[in-house]
Amino acid sequence: MTPFVWNGKLMRMEWAHSDREETVIRDCETGKIISEVTDEIYFPSGILDGDTFHVTGVDKKHRDTILIFSSKDLQRWEKRVLLKREGWYYYNTCMTKDDKGYALVMEAGKPSEYVGEYPFTFFFATSPDLKIWNHVGDDLGFSQNRYMGGPWMRYSEGWYYVVSVTELPCLRYANYIYRTRDFKEWQIGFYNPMHMPGPEDLELSPNAADITPEFYEKIQKSFHINVSDMDMCDYNGKLYINYCCGNQQGFGYIAEGEYDGTMAEFLKAFFE
């Protein structure tokens, strides 16, 4: 999911690994789905770029291809291939704007000579215009010595901040935060993991949508070992945060949190 503010209203792009597997836009205030983006991609991520909302995701039919869908009204969507690399196998992606254009993080499972011994590794590319992409060296995949999944990336005050879920001992999965200026040298936040699975993730939000009593009961009884796939946006003077909870075995749901400050303050605080 990706929360974002559109004409002053809090929206959320959502995708569920279910029978439909469709990317949609939901009005968070009313809980209603206002737009159907596409059913052609896995693991979508969104970014608000001026008056345009972009959705990137890996092509279901060609896992070496990343597609982008763009809209200026959240109703009509233009589709094109963002990039394609033969021999690569992609999962999650996330794009951010920087001082020179755009940067993209891609979670890859192949080729093995670059991914390493762990299931997933992050690779990066930059572009001045969303059309021509320059890949950062494949030997600079981050990080080849640990499990890295569900990337989120934002550029702030000269740094690229990257959040990743990682596998911890005793069958737990939690988000860690890192930052870099050049995708070569990395810093790990002083306060990691950012958060751990806990009882507060089982509480029902007043903003919850499409939660039946049966599904809520399933949440309460689930094997809750995972917080991952974080995304966030500034809204009404605070930072609105979404993340995924679940059992890492196919059952999951969206949770939300709030930080009393801006995104820039939140990200920097983990390194001070």
How far is Cα of residue 272 from the mean position of the Cα atoms in its chain? 24
Separation between Cα atoms, residue 192 and residue 169, nearest integer Å: 14
pLDDT in tens, 101-159: 999 999 999 998 898 887 899 999 999 999 999 999 999 999 988 889 999 999 999 99
- d(CA 126, CA 137) in angstroms, rounded, equals 11
Q: How far apart are the first and last CA of the chain?
A: 28
- Phi and psi dihedrals of 13, rounded to 5? -80, 135
Gap between the Cα atoms of 252 and 238, Å rounded: 26
Q: What is the pLDDT along the chain (272 residues), one digit of tens a residue?
A: 999 999 999 999 999 876 678 999 999 999 999 999 999 999 999 999 999 999 999 999 999 999 999 999 999 999 999 999 999 999 999 999 999 999 999 999 999 889 888 789 999 999 999 999 999 999 999 998 888 999 999 999 999 999 999 999 999 999 999 999 999 999 999 999 999 999 999 999 988 888 899 999 999 998 899 999 999 999 999 999 999 999 988 889 999 999 999 999 999 999 99
- Within 10 angstroms of residue 7's Cβ, the number of other Cβ atoms is 7
Tokens coding 128: 């001045």
State residue 206's pLDDT score.
Answer: 87
pLDDT at 132: 95
pLDDT at 79: 98
Positive/negative CA dihedral, 140, 49, 255, 188? positive
> Phi first, then psi: what are they for 135, rounded to 5°?
-80, 130
**DSSP state, 195?**
B
Please choose, from the candidates 31, 84, 78, the residue with its C-alpha nearest in 3D space to the C-alpha of residue 61: 84
Residue found under tokens 């990039």: 83
Q: Which pLDDT belongs to residue 16?
A: 82
Smallest CA-to-CA distance from 164 within 146, 151, 182, 179 is with 151
Going by their DSSP bridges, the two strands 226-235 and 186-188 should be labelled as unpaired
Q: Map tokens 């309460």 to a residue.
A: 220
Exposure letters 108-147 (e unless 16+ CB within 10 A, then b): bbeeeebbeebebbbbbbbbeebeebeebeeebbbbeeee
pLDDT of residue 18: 66
3-state class (DSSP) for residue 246 = strand
Task: Provide the pLDDT for residue 52.
Answer: 98
Strand 252-259 vs strand 238-246: parallel, antiparallel, or unpaired? antiparallel
**Planar angle of CA 239, 156, 154, nearest 5 degrees:** 70
Q: What angle do CA 152, 25, 257 make, to 5 degrees?
A: 50
48/55 Cα distance (integer angstroms): 9
